[in-house]
Structure formats: C-alpha cells, structure tokens
Amino acid sequence: MKERDYLEYGSWEFSARKAFTEMNEYRHVYSSLSVDKKVKLAHQFYDLIFRCNDIPIRFESVEAKKLSKSDRTADHPLSARVAHRAIMNANLWLLDDFNVFKKEFYKLMQKINMTSSENSGVKIMPDKNGDVKVPMYITDRYKLVEQFYDNERNTWIQQFPLEIPDWYGKYESSKVPVTLTAHMN
C-alpha cells in the first residue's frame, strides 16, 4: 500500500486494499512458498476479513434466534482460508483489479448467526500441504441448519442464504473428497 492509501481507505475497504496489495506482492512466488508460509499468509488474510464488523448480520439460524444476541456465534460461511487458497492457487485474475477484488472481499465478510454447536459442525480443516480439507460442499455442510431468518426481509428461508461466488464454489468443491463429490455431478 502507498502511504496515502492508509488515509484514503476506511472501514472494510481498508482491509480489502491491504489484502489486495499484500497478495499481489507474493502472487508470482506463492506456488514456491513453504507450507508454513502459505498457512501464515492464509491466516493473515483470514484476520483481515474476520476483523471487519462493518456490515450487519442478515441471516440467523432458527436455534440462534432462540438465544440472546450475546450468545449467538457469528459464522463466516465463505471461509477466508479457502478463499485465500482459491485466489492464490486458481484465481489470480482477482488480483488484477482492485474494484473486482473488493466486491469479492465484501462477500467473504458476510456472516450468519448460529449456535456454537451449529458452527462447530461446518468447519474446514487444514491439510498437511498448506491447503484445506473440505468435508462437504458448503451447502451440504449447512443442511443441518433447519432454516435461516432473513432480518432484512423478515421472513424464513429453507436453503443456504448466501450467494456462493463461482470461483469460490469451484475451488471448494475441488477439495471435497472424491467419494463425496459423486452426488454433486
């Protein structure tokens, strides 16, 4: 980032700009980096997304609605760690234009309120090669959630409520074990 960028960008756009700039710094050497460095870079990207609390939580699970607001768990269904690997391993085009990147970054910031037990059932695990293991595709992981309440439209919906960017969905599905992907085709 340039010095003026620290003053020019505010709110979540500051984090998006920082991520964009840093990812462009290592984009051409990423594939040659050690597992340890890849994990650290993914964690740094995760932190830039996780610390953005600028947008309201639109969707909540049935069970979360029964809890006090302080007992709800804010979950990022679109995993920042998966997104980082998806960008660096298969979608470098997202690093060509900041305006394109920031729209996708915004999607990654979206959260759903859940219970802590619902949240623990949708986790992504690291593999031993600096990438991720995805137990099930995102919509399958969230099928255990009965319904989602849309706070914007004041209505209940049955299906997974967030838009899944194509680039993200393709990468995530490539990380689901082959035995589980047969039903997806």
Average pLDDT per 10 consecutive residues for the chain, totaling 185 residues: 78 94 97 94 95 90 94 94 96 98 96 92 84 90 90 94 96 82 48
**What is the per-residue pLDDT for 23?**
98
Alpha carbon 108 to its chain centroid, in Å, reads 4
**Are 130 and 35 a contacting pair, CB within 8 Å?**
yes
What is the span of the domain harbouring residue 136? Answer: 3-184
Residue 158, SS3 per DSSP:
coil
Lookup: tokens for 88: 């660096």
Structural domain count of the chain: 1
Secondary element (H or E) of residue 167: helix 166-174
pLDDT at 183: 47
* pTM exceeds cut of 0.85: yes
Kindly tell me the sign of the dihedral angle through the C-alpha atoms of 114, 155, 103, 173: positive
Q: What is the pLDDT of residue 4?
A: 82
- How far is CA 70 from each of CA 60, 84, 110, 180, rounded to the nearest angstrom? 13, 29, 18, 36
Helices 80-90 and 166-174 pack at an angle, to 10 degrees, of 90
